[in-house]
Amino acid sequence: PQPFSQSPEAYSLTVTEEGIDIAANSNRGLVYGNTTLEQLWDEQAQAYPLVAIQDYPAYSVRGVMHDVGRNFQSIDYLKKQLRQLARYKINTFHWHLSDNPGWRIEAIRYPQLNDPANYRPGRDPGKFYTYAEIIDLFEYARALNIQVIPELDMPGHSEYVKETFGFGMGSWRGRRICRELLREFFEQVPAELAPYIHIGSDEVFIPFPGNFIRGLEQVAREHGRKVIV
């Protein structure tokens, strides 16, 4: 273990005339040590500089958020960005999967949510991620030491629900649909890949908001998830 920090992301990197040594508290630290080593390579000199580095994060959560509910991005493009984020040692990707323009997740119980007619015009109507693609991105990110935190925004930023069903999330029928959508997500995406769920809850006024959020929290906890709002 490294005496200078107990962080699992800490590492020491030493480059001498005799060789290169990387030590860390965990595999995550080793990955970051190797990342730094790659960035130190001097292409012109065809050599590494002689250095002694002790590195650990000031913040345990270092994240970037994309709102693909508003601006859809392909899985390949997201992977390209994750690779770049990993080079900067970003360890959290907040994946905002729904917003007013549409529900960007495969809808098994309610396939009408994926109908292009129910998306906001001009905002990539009908484009969504299958659960196979979602799981693939989670696994890809995990291999890069990045934790994906999915956000299913409820009850705010959900015009697509009224467009699809004729009523909003704040209605009793809307609340039931929200709980079913959460259950479906948890049934498809294992807790070990997605231990956290962000349920938004911002910028909206509905009757009895506390009851609404507690109902979603109960569903999440029944499936072993930690809730962020």
Q: What is the pLDDT of residues 42-98, one digit of tens each?
A: 999 999 999 999 999 999 999 999 999 999 999 999 999 999 999 999 999 999 999
Tell me the percentage of the chain whose pLDDT exceeds 70: 99
For the stretch 179-192, pLDDT in tens is: 999 999 999 999 99
For the stretch 101-150, pLDDT in tens is: 999 999 999 999 999 999 999 999 999 999 999 999 999 999 999 999 99
Q: What is the pLDDT of residue 4?
A: 83
**Is residue 201's pLDDT more than 60?**
yes
How far apart CA 77 and CA 82 sit, in angstroms, is: 9
* Region for residue 113 given its phi and psi (left: phi exceeds 0; alpha: psi -120 to 50; beta: otherwise): alpha
For the stretch 16-50, pLDDT in tens is: 999 999 999 999 999 999 999 999 999 999 999 99
Q: What is the pLDDT of residue 45?
A: 95
How far apart CA 226 and CA 55 sit, in angstroms, is: 29
How far apart CA 26 and CA 14 sit, in angstroms, is: 17
The residue with tokens 């590494």 is 48
Helix, strand, coil share (%) of the chain residues, nearest 5 = 35, 20, 45
Specify the pTM.
Answer: 0.94
Phi, psi of 179 (to 5 degrees): -65, -40
Query: Which of the 8 DSSP states describes residue 72?
Result: -
- Structure tokens of 107? 């809808």
How far apart CA 169 and CA 100 sit, in angstroms, is: 12
